Amino acid sequence: ASPARDRLRIAIQKSGRLAEPARSLLAACGLSWRQSRDKLFCYGESLPVDLLLVRDDDIPGLIADGVCDLGIVGRNELDEQAAERRRNGMPDAYQSLRGLGFGQCRLMLAVPEEWEWRGVEQLAGLRIATSYPAILADWLERQGVDAQVVELSGSVEIAPRLGTADLICDLVSSGATLAANQLKPVETLLESEAVLAGAVREPNDMRAGLLAMLLKRVDGVLHQRD
Ligand code: ATP
Ligand code: ZN
């Protein structure tokens, strides 16, 4: 068990799509911080709620390890790491507490524009490039289709042109990146947005009250934004 703590620690993206909206949501909840020299840790001033600025990929693990109590991360990233844990026989470690209404995107299959799409049976024997191998593998199993998952950490959309895959499974928001790579979206695996994530096991020390208060404030801000 982790030692009792009297401050709450929230991991958010240091830079990238979710960085600014995550910070402004927390600021709208009445939080303010003193920024440290290294700019990785922000000490909470108005409330004992500190920020850790990290890569989004690290957020689920920081929660699982108890380094952070909460995180703001895309559902895509949280679900991928949860699916990977499950596939490795590990217990669930985190849960999504609230959908936050920003960072919306879809995890989609996209195929070369010239393909005629006739449905998932068409995927049998094909190679699919993705940065979301666990979500994709789960989905393929549910669909009962045997395709090969090719894991790539970036530039997934050029894989079909390079010949390293036949099609891709990637995040799509406007569709402009797909179009620029002569790809078209055909199936949605996941509707994503930024979520406030927390550990499966809730804190039972001073942090419990802070967490409840923060959730109430988040709900208030989200309600105002509707
Ligand atoms: P980091 O340096 O933190 O690893 P990153 O490059 O992995 O950053 P971003 O591109 O900033 O991450 O995306 C963060 C999140 O924003 C995604 O995980 C997703 O939830 C969301 N998002 C919304 N629209 C898109 C999109 N069109 N492409 C990618 N991610 C999107
Ligand atoms: Zn990332």
The per-residue pLDDT for range 148-183, each reduced to its tens digit, is 999 999 999 999 999 999 999 999 999 999 999 999
Task: Note the pLDDT tens digit of each residue in 64-73.
Answer: 999 999 999 9
Residue 134 and residue 87 in contact, taking contact as beta carbons nearer than 8 Å:
yes
Those residues whose beta carbon sits under 5 angstroms from the ion ligand 2 are 56-57
In a domain, 1, yes or no: no
ipTM: 0.98
Q: Using most ligand atoms within 8 A of CB, pick from 15, 40, 55, 56 the residue to mutate for ligand 1.
A: 56
Ligand 1 atom closest to the Cα of residue 56 is 3
Question: Are both 96 and 112 inside the same structural domain?
Answer: no
The pTM is what? 0.96
Q: What is the pLDDT of residue 113?
A: 98
Q: DSSP 3-state assignment of 59?
A: helix
Q: What is the pLDDT of residue 2?
A: 61
Question: Are both 94 and 116 inside the same structural domain?
Answer: no
Q: What is the pLDDT of residue 5?
A: 86
In a domain, 2, yes or no: no
In a domain, 12, yes or no: yes
Point out which residues pair with 114 in neighbouring strands.
none
In a domain, 173, yes or no: yes
Q: What is the pLDDT of residue 36?
A: 73
Stretches where the chain sits below pLDDT 70 are 1-3, 37
Overall domain count for the chain: 2
Ligand 1 near 157 CB (within 6 A)? no
Number of residues that make up the chain: 226
CATH code of 97's domain = 3.40.190.10
- Residue from 165, 93, 105, 180 nearest 133 by CA: 165
> What is the rounded CA–CA span in Å between residue 224 and residue 169?
35
Ligand 1 near 76 CB (within 6 A)? yes
Give the contacts of 121 (CB within 8 A, at least 6 positions apart).
145
Ligand 1 near 192 CB (within 6 A)? yes
Question: Are both 176 and 73 inside the same structural domain?
Answer: no
* Integer CA distances (angstroms), 167 to 118, 149, 182, in order: 14, 10, 11
Q: What is the pLDDT of residue 7?
A: 96
Distance of alpha carbon 169 from its chain centroid, rounded?
Answer: 15
Ligand 1 near 173 CB (within 6 A)? yes
Tell the residue number behind the tokens 């499950």, with chain if given: 86
Ligand 1 near 93 CB (within 6 A)? no
